[in-house]
Amino acid sequence: MIFGNIKNLKEYSFLGEQIKKCFAFAAEHDLACFEKGRYEIEGDNLFVNVTEYITAQAEERFWEAHKKYLDLHLMLCGQEQIDLSFIQNMQLKEYVDESDFVQLDGEKNCSVVLTPRDFLICYPNDGHRTAVAVDKPESIRKAIFKIKIRH
């Protein structure tokens, strides 16, 4: 997991080219004005989902991880807590190849709070529970870049 804010991107020069393309795309486009949906950057290898939802209590949310894609969450509006734990510490359910999704059960190891311009990169070993309310449920808008790492 890598947690940061796009104002400090100079500190992340070590990141891979595909991740840097995500930040370049965000700098060149006003993602907050995009309609909800999927936008291809490099086909299935790199795309962004612009999403909007209302956060909820942690007990109402689910854990997930991915094998083929990295997730780069970029907060556009609002605030959201994302709980994290290594998948080795969790119970893995069935993997769904078509959606690159495995649901997990377990306890969080830590949490981050994303506010506008914050980002979180989740790698395959990073189980994450998104859409957790910080103080109270609120509407948020964010971009989730999907970066293919395995075929």
Do 137 and 81 meet the contact criterion of CB atoms below 8 Å apart? no
pTM summary value: 0.96
Do 76 and 114 meet the contact criterion of CB atoms below 8 Å apart? no
Do 140 and 132 meet the contact criterion of CB atoms below 8 Å apart? no
Return the residue matching tokens 């991915």. 66
Q: Residues 41-81: pLDDT tens digits?
A: 999 999 999 999 999 999 999 999 999 999 999 999 999 99
Say which CATH superfamily domain 2-148 falls into.
YhcH/YjgK/YiaL (2.60.120.370)
Q: Residues 80-91: pLDDT tens digits?
A: 999 999 999 999
Q: How far is CA 36 from CA 1, 10, 19, 139, in A?
A: 25, 29, 21, 14
The tokens for 36 are 């909800």
